[in-house]
Amino acid sequence: MELTPRPAPTPASTARHRRSPWAYGVLLAVLVGLGVVVYQGLTSASLYFYNADEAVAQRDDLGDKRFRLQGLVLGGSIASTEDGVDFTVAYNEVEIEVHHDGDPPELFQPGIPVVLEGRWDPSGDFFASDTIRVKHSEQYEAENEGRLEDAERGGAGAADGSTSTTPSP
């Protein structure tokens, strides 16, 4: 083992290495890009939610801002259009005419609660929607109750309790 002391460093060997200005430029660009992504993520996640009565009361303040609107689809108000569907939603006895651009979901029907995304039309006469979310029932009832027991038996029986051991061609 060598125990001889090392010579003291000279000022030339302790001089700091200067980084290239390109490295600082790349670092700055990465930080700015990261900031933009975080800003976009936070602003798009803050889509405000209003019931139909609240949206009507704040129509002037909302202007052309995008928001979510909740209401109950009124029976007899649904009419298909070339580019979507028109209907009326209500909440606390306040009704709003809606023009939805695109196909409504399969569960869309009168008498169900919906959440719409969009904005007030510039005229302020209706809500222009591009997304419909339908609240479905929390009750899950099987049409063919025997299927669960059938599956538990390995799929050997039919829903009516009969069994078949003949292979299909």
Residue 111 falls inside a structural domain: yes
Residue 5 falls inside a structural domain: no
Q: What are the distances in angstroms from CA 151 to CA 142, 143, 169? A: 13, 15, 22
Q: Residue 100 is part of a domain; what is its CATH number?
A: 2.40.50.140
Domain range for 55 is 49-134
Residue 55 falls inside a structural domain: yes
**Residue 169: pLDDT band with limits 50, 70, 90:** very low
Residue 107 falls inside a structural domain: yes
Total number of domains constituting the chain: 1
Residue 169 falls inside a structural domain: no
Q: Provide the whole-model pTM.
A: 0.56
Q: Residue 60: which residues within 8 A CB-CB, separation 6 or more?
A: none
Q: Are 148 and 116 in contact (CB under 8 A)?
A: no
Residue 15 falls inside a structural domain: no
Q: Residue 51: which residues within 8 A CB-CB, separation 6 or more?
A: 69, 70, 71, 91, 92
Closest by CA position to 77, among listed 32, 109, 46: 109
Task: Using the predicted structure, report yes or no on whether residue 139 has a pLDDT greater than 60.
Answer: no
Q: Are 136 and 107 in contact (CB under 8 A)?
A: yes
Summarize pLDDT for 153-162 with one digit per residue, the tens: 665 554 444 4
Residue 116 falls inside a structural domain: yes
Handedness of CA 105, 111, 117, 122 (dihedral sign): positive
Residue 75 falls inside a structural domain: yes
| Weakest-pLDDT range from 95-109, 115-129, 137-151 | 137-151
